[in-house]
Amino acid sequence: MASTTESVQAVDAHGFRRAMASFATGVNVITVYDEAGQPHGMTATAFCSVSVDPPLLLVCVSRDTRTHDRIVSTDRFGVGMLSGGSTKISDHCARPGADKRLPAAWLAEGSGARMPVLASALAHADCSVHEHQDVGTHTVFIGRVEHLYFGSETEPLLFFQGSYHRLQRDMADH
Ligand SMILES: Cc1cc2nc3c(=O)[nH]c(=O)nc-3n(C[C@H](O)[C@H](O)[C@H](O)COP(=O)(O)O)c2cc1C
């Protein structure tokens, strides 16, 4: 039983972020190609499945990011769902303002996808933009999934209260 409770009436940015951090998520990398054809990735947890038929998913991307502009200019993006050992990839793709080119060693060859595919991802969904909507500081992109890739890893990378976590198998079995 929880020993203390706290009710916060004013919803400021700190409180909002703190509450949202209580939602445990997987970690994804949105992949795009830049103007020079180089593969780039951006770490994103704001992702969910929307519809099976047609196959739709959504990502929420800040309009301050370069990835946002690349999605808008190409009308395409990929989403790689990261495996447990991928904290280095996640950190690489989350550094604001840094070069987030994806090294060739991280990429799957011959995946058949149109967007860059991380070889170590659990799965990758290749999408065309089905529709998009500006909401607050972000754009919600609904992607129509046109191609799927499945990697050989089996454990997800999780994010909760500002840190990476791994799935605890004994809990997952209940
Ligand atoms: C764990 C984690 C999750 C993130 N999720 C998102 C997200 O869902 N949407 C978003 O716009 N930014 C998210 N970010 C921030 C972007 O990864 C970050 O702003 C990135 O530097 C933008 O890259 P770009 O400007 O090169 O596109 C997240 C960062 C971290 C560390």
| Model pLDDT for residues 71-97, shown as the tens digit of each residue | 999 999 999 999 999 999 999 999 998
Ligand 1 center from residue 63 Cα (angstroms): 11
Ligand 1 center from residue 42 Cα (angstroms): 6
Q: Does residue 140 line the site of ligand 1, with CB under 6 A?
A: no
**Per-residue exposure over 75-94, b if at least 16 CB sit within 10 Å of its own CB, e if not:** ebbbbbbbbbebeebbebbb
CA 41 to CA 116: how far, in whole Å?
8
What CATH number matches the domain at 26-159, 2.60.40.3500, 2.30.110.10, 1.20.120.420, 3.30.750.24?
2.30.110.10
Atom of ligand 1 at shortest range from CA of 91: 31
φ and ψ at residue 79, rounded to 5 degrees: -130, 120
Domain positions in the chain are 26-159
- pLDDT tens-digit series, residues 124-134: 999 999 999 99
| pTM of the complete model | 0.94
Q: Does residue 43 line the site of ligand 1, with CB under 6 A?
A: yes
